[in-house]
Amino acid sequence: MTSRCGSQKSGPIAPPITAVDISMSGAMQNEPDLSIAGQFLVAMPLLADPNFHRTVTCLCEYSSKGALGIVINRHDVRLTGKDVFSQLEIDYTPAAGVVPVHLGGPVHPNELFILHGPPLIWEGTHEFQKGLALSNTVDLVEAIAQSRGPQKYIIALGCAGWGPGQLDFELTENTWITAPMDREVLFDLPVGNRWETVLTRNGINPAVLSGTAGHA
Protein backbone atom coordinates (compact mmCIF):
# COMPACT_ATOMS: atom_id res chain seq x y z
CA MET A 1 0.00 0.00 0.00
CA THR A 2 1.33 3.40 -0.90
CA SER A 3 0.38 6.92 0.07
CA ARG A 4 0.92 10.47 -1.07
CA CYS A 5 -0.12 12.14 2.15
CA GLY A 6 0.94 15.71 2.78
CA SER A 7 3.04 16.38 5.86
CA GLN A 8 1.17 17.48 8.96
CA LYS A 9 4.38 18.59 10.69
CA SER A 10 5.44 22.15 11.30
CA GLY A 11 8.36 23.78 9.57
CA PRO A 12 7.99 22.66 5.94
CA ILE A 13 11.07 22.77 3.79
CA ALA A 14 11.28 25.78 1.50
CA PRO A 15 12.26 26.09 -1.25
CA PRO A 16 11.15 22.67 -2.46
CA ILE A 17 13.41 19.66 -2.15
CA THR A 18 15.12 18.67 -5.36
CA ALA A 19 16.89 15.55 -6.58
CA VAL A 20 19.59 16.58 -9.03
CA ASP A 21 22.95 15.54 -10.41
CA ILE A 22 25.88 15.52 -7.98
CA SER A 23 27.82 18.31 -9.64
CA MET A 24 31.14 17.88 -7.84
CA SER A 25 31.48 14.27 -8.95
CA GLY A 26 31.86 15.14 -12.60
CA ALA A 27 34.63 17.58 -11.80
CA MET A 28 36.57 15.01 -9.82
CA GLN A 29 36.17 11.81 -11.77
CA ASN A 30 39.54 12.26 -13.45
CA GLU A 31 41.34 12.33 -10.10
CA PRO A 32 40.95 8.98 -8.41
CA ASP A 33 42.38 8.85 -5.19
CA LEU A 34 43.13 10.02 -2.87
CA SER A 35 43.98 9.02 0.63
CA ILE A 36 41.08 10.16 2.76
CA ALA A 37 38.13 9.72 0.39
CA GLY A 38 35.87 7.05 1.89
CA GLN A 39 36.84 7.85 5.48
CA PHE A 40 35.09 9.58 8.33
CA LEU A 41 35.88 13.16 9.25
CA VAL A 42 35.34 13.56 12.97
CA ALA A 43 34.96 17.10 14.29
CA MET A 44 37.28 18.04 17.13
CA PRO A 45 35.62 19.63 20.20
CA LEU A 46 37.36 22.90 19.37
CA LEU A 47 35.30 23.21 16.18
CA ALA A 48 32.66 25.72 17.28
CA ASP A 49 30.88 26.13 13.92
CA PRO A 50 27.29 25.07 14.73
CA ASN A 51 27.03 23.33 11.36
CA PHE A 52 29.77 20.89 12.34
CA HIS A 53 30.14 20.84 16.13
CA ARG A 54 30.68 17.21 17.18
CA THR A 55 29.74 15.86 13.78
CA VAL A 56 30.84 12.79 11.87
CA THR A 57 31.03 13.32 8.11
CA CYS A 58 31.34 10.56 5.54
CA LEU A 59 33.84 11.92 3.02
CA CYS A 60 32.68 10.97 -0.48
CA GLU A 61 34.94 13.15 -2.67
CA TYR A 62 38.48 14.40 -2.15
CA SER A 63 40.94 15.86 -4.65
CA SER A 64 42.92 18.99 -5.45
CA LYS A 65 39.62 20.53 -6.61
CA GLY A 66 37.98 20.19 -3.22
CA ALA A 67 36.00 17.75 -1.11
CA LEU A 68 32.40 16.72 -0.50
CA GLY A 69 30.82 14.72 2.30
CA ILE A 70 27.59 13.94 4.15
CA VAL A 71 27.15 14.57 7.87
CA ILE A 72 25.77 11.32 9.30
CA ASN A 73 24.93 12.16 12.90
CA ARG A 74 22.36 14.92 12.63
CA HIS A 75 18.71 14.71 11.71
CA ASP A 76 15.63 16.88 12.04
CA VAL A 77 13.09 15.04 14.17
CA ARG A 78 10.31 17.00 12.44
CA LEU A 79 11.20 15.50 9.06
CA THR A 80 10.67 11.98 7.78
CA GLY A 81 10.55 10.29 4.43
CA LYS A 82 6.93 11.26 3.86
CA ASP A 83 7.88 14.95 3.87
CA VAL A 84 10.51 14.35 1.20
CA PHE A 85 8.38 12.10 -0.98
CA SER A 86 5.33 14.33 -0.71
CA GLN A 87 7.27 17.38 -1.89
CA LEU A 88 8.65 15.36 -4.80
CA GLU A 89 5.13 14.02 -5.53
CA ILE A 90 6.31 10.43 -5.26
CA ASP A 91 4.07 7.65 -3.92
CA TYR A 92 5.56 6.00 -0.84
CA THR A 93 4.99 2.98 1.37
CA PRO A 94 4.25 3.34 5.09
CA ALA A 95 7.71 1.97 5.93
CA ALA A 96 9.45 4.51 3.71
CA GLY A 97 7.30 7.31 5.07
CA VAL A 98 8.77 7.05 8.57
CA VAL A 99 12.46 6.91 7.57
CA PRO A 100 14.41 9.73 9.27
CA VAL A 101 15.91 12.54 7.21
CA HIS A 102 19.48 13.53 8.03
CA LEU A 103 20.90 17.04 7.82
CA GLY A 104 23.82 16.36 5.52
CA GLY A 105 25.47 19.77 5.71
CA PRO A 106 25.02 23.47 4.97
CA VAL A 107 25.75 23.28 1.22
CA HIS A 108 22.70 22.86 -1.07
CA PRO A 109 20.45 22.41 2.00
CA ASN A 110 17.33 21.71 -0.06
CA GLU A 111 18.91 19.12 -2.33
CA LEU A 112 18.52 15.45 -1.62
CA PHE A 113 21.50 13.10 -1.24
CA ILE A 114 21.35 9.34 -0.71
CA LEU A 115 24.30 7.58 0.91
CA HIS A 116 23.78 3.87 0.36
CA GLY A 117 25.06 0.34 0.06
CA PRO A 118 24.37 -2.21 -2.69
CA PRO A 119 22.92 -2.69 -5.14
CA LEU A 120 24.59 0.16 -6.99
CA ILE A 121 22.48 -0.05 -10.11
CA TRP A 122 20.82 3.35 -10.29
CA GLU A 123 21.63 6.06 -12.78
CA GLY A 124 24.20 8.56 -11.55
CA THR A 125 25.47 6.37 -8.72
CA HIS A 126 28.92 7.49 -7.57
CA GLU A 127 30.74 4.59 -5.88
CA PHE A 128 33.43 6.15 -3.68
CA GLN A 129 34.30 2.99 -1.75
CA LYS A 130 33.64 -0.63 -2.71
CA GLY A 131 29.96 -1.27 -2.10
CA LEU A 132 29.25 2.26 -0.90
CA ALA A 133 27.90 5.10 -3.04
CA LEU A 134 26.45 8.59 -3.10
CA SER A 135 23.49 9.20 -5.38
CA ASN A 136 20.66 11.66 -5.73
CA THR A 137 18.76 10.87 -8.88
CA VAL A 138 15.02 10.47 -9.05
CA ASP A 139 15.04 6.77 -9.96
CA LEU A 140 16.77 5.88 -6.69
CA VAL A 141 14.51 8.15 -4.63
CA GLU A 142 11.46 6.48 -6.21
CA ALA A 143 12.87 3.02 -5.45
CA ILE A 144 13.41 3.94 -1.80
CA ALA A 145 9.91 5.42 -1.58
CA GLN A 146 8.50 2.13 -2.85
CA SER A 147 10.67 0.11 -0.41
CA ARG A 148 12.58 -1.52 -3.26
CA GLY A 149 15.82 0.42 -2.92
CA PRO A 150 19.08 -0.48 -1.20
CA GLN A 151 18.84 -2.34 2.10
CA LYS A 152 21.10 0.19 3.81
CA TYR A 153 20.83 3.92 3.11
CA ILE A 154 20.74 7.41 4.58
CA ILE A 155 18.50 10.15 3.21
CA ALA A 156 20.10 13.55 3.72
CA LEU A 157 19.25 17.12 2.88
CA GLY A 158 22.33 19.10 1.96
CA CYS A 159 26.00 18.20 2.03
CA ALA A 160 29.32 19.46 3.34
CA GLY A 161 31.71 20.99 0.83
CA TRP A 162 35.26 22.35 0.84
CA GLY A 163 37.12 24.34 -1.81
CA PRO A 164 40.61 23.54 -3.12
CA GLY A 165 43.00 23.02 -0.21
CA GLN A 166 40.43 24.07 2.39
CA LEU A 167 40.01 20.69 4.07
CA ASP A 168 43.76 20.05 4.09
CA PHE A 169 44.24 23.35 5.90
CA GLU A 170 41.50 22.57 8.42
CA LEU A 171 43.13 19.22 9.20
CA THR A 172 46.31 21.04 10.17
CA GLU A 173 44.35 23.53 12.28
CA ASN A 174 43.06 21.01 14.83
CA THR A 175 39.61 21.03 13.27
CA TRP A 176 39.17 17.37 12.29
CA ILE A 177 40.63 13.94 12.68
CA THR A 178 40.11 11.17 10.16
CA ALA A 179 38.97 7.65 10.98
CA PRO A 180 38.31 4.50 8.93
CA MET A 181 34.85 3.99 7.54
CA ASP A 182 32.66 1.92 9.86
CA ARG A 183 29.46 0.76 8.19
CA GLU A 184 27.79 -0.21 11.43
CA VAL A 185 28.22 3.37 12.60
CA LEU A 186 27.15 4.68 9.21
CA PHE A 187 23.88 2.78 8.91
CA ASP A 188 22.94 1.06 12.16
CA LEU A 189 24.07 2.98 15.22
CA PRO A 190 21.69 5.53 16.81
CA VAL A 191 22.48 8.98 15.47
CA GLY A 192 23.23 10.43 18.90
CA ASN A 193 25.94 7.84 19.61
CA ARG A 194 27.95 8.08 16.41
CA TRP A 195 30.47 10.80 17.31
CA GLU A 196 31.58 9.20 20.58
CA THR A 197 31.54 5.69 19.10
CA VAL A 198 33.84 6.56 16.20
CA LEU A 199 36.31 8.10 18.63
CA THR A 200 36.26 5.25 21.15
CA ARG A 201 36.55 2.57 18.44
CA ASN A 202 39.71 4.33 17.31
CA GLY A 203 41.25 4.43 20.74
CA ILE A 204 40.31 7.99 21.65
CA ASN A 205 38.54 8.91 24.87
CA PRO A 206 36.14 11.77 24.02
CA ALA A 207 36.33 13.03 27.60
CA VAL A 208 40.04 13.75 27.34
CA LEU A 209 40.29 14.51 23.64
CA SER A 210 42.96 17.12 22.98
CA GLY A 211 43.10 19.61 20.14
CA THR A 212 45.82 17.69 18.36
CA ALA A 213 45.03 17.26 14.66
CA GLY A 214 45.88 14.11 12.76
CA HIS A 215 44.72 10.69 11.72
CA ALA A 216 43.08 8.21 14.05
Mean pLDDT across 114-123: 92
pLDDT at 117 over 60: yes
Question: Residue 124's pLDDT is what?
Answer: 82
The closest of 31, 26, 39 to 126, measured between CA atoms, is 26
- Whether residue 5 is contained in a domain is answered as no
Reported as a single tens digit per residue, the pLDDT across 83-109 is 999 999 999 999 999 999 999 999 999
pLDDT at residue 21 tops 60: no
pTM of the model: 0.83
Structural domain count, the chain: 1
Determine, yes or no, domain membership for 100.
yes
Asked, for residue 156, whether it belongs to a domain, the answer is yes
Residue 70 lies in a domain: yes
pLDDT digits (tens, 9 = 90+) for 157-210: 999 999 999 999 999 988 899 999 999 999 999 999 999 999 999 998 888 775
* In-domain check, residue 17: no
- Is residue 75 domain-resident? yes
DSSP bridge pairs for 126: 134
Instruction: Give the domain range for residue 165.
Output: 23-201
Q: Which of 18, 111, 105 is nearest to 60 (CA)?
A: 105
CATH code for the domain of 63: 3.40.1740.10
